[in-house]
Amino acid sequence: MYREWSEVKQREVRSLSHESVSGDELFLRKLVDATCLNGRLWGHTSHENEDNLAHSVYVTPFKEQVSEPYASAITEVLSGEGTASSLLKPSYWLWKEKRFHPMDRNEASVFTLELARRLLDHYTVLDGRTYQYLYSVLDTGRNSVHFFLEEVDL
């Protein structure tokens, strides 16, 4: 499913995983901007399917895709401690003071398709404030989707 892509060689370098997931989870995995696999962060470049059966998500090392200061801040969040959830759970992070801070949104696990719907939006309103989605990461180890947001005044 996940395949490392080399921009220099313009080809697939290696396969990173061959997981079998539900259709809803596959949809979500194709929508996030990056995935954390085995403790390493990979940015998505593209995805495809072969005969609508074999699905691939092409990835490159995360730092090659995201500019500073966001790259370091996102890496810092994902390298920190966290607990794994049995079901997919959203996790929200707010950009301020040159880093991401956890938002107090104690949301329980939600359906995979609901998380995918959130990934289709560019903005969200939470508690009367408007936020722009900056980046999203599926953390397979913690079974969570991290939403990195910035408050905007529209």
**Residue ranges of domains in the chain:** 2-63, 85-151
Tokens 């697939």 belong to residue: 12
pLDDT tens, residue by residue, 49-93: 999 888 999 999 998 778 889 999 999 999 987 778 788 899 999
In the prediction, which pLDDT does 63 show? 83
- The model's pTM is 0.91
97: left (phi over 0), alpha (psi -120 to 50) or beta: left
Structure tokens given for 135:
């980046």
pLDDT tens, residue by residue, 4-26: 999 889 999 999 988 888 999 99
- Computed over every residue of the chain, the mean pLDDT equals 91
In the prediction, which pLDDT does 154 show? 79
Mean pLDDT of 103-113: 82
Q: How far apart are CA 48 and CA 52, in angstroms?
A: 9
Q: How far apart are CA 92 and CA 87, in angstroms?
A: 16
Q: Are 36 and 44 in contact (CB under 8 A)?
A: no
The number of beta carbons lying within 10 Å of the beta carbon of residue 114 is 13
In the prediction, which pLDDT does 53 show? 85
Spatial neighbors of 2 by CB under 8 A, at least 6 apart, are 15, 16, 17, 19, 35, 37, 42, 56, 57, 59
pLDDT exceeds 90 at position 147: yes
Q: Is 89 helix (H, G, I), strand (E, B) or coil?
A: strand
Confidence band of 137 (pLDDT split at 50, 70, 90): very high
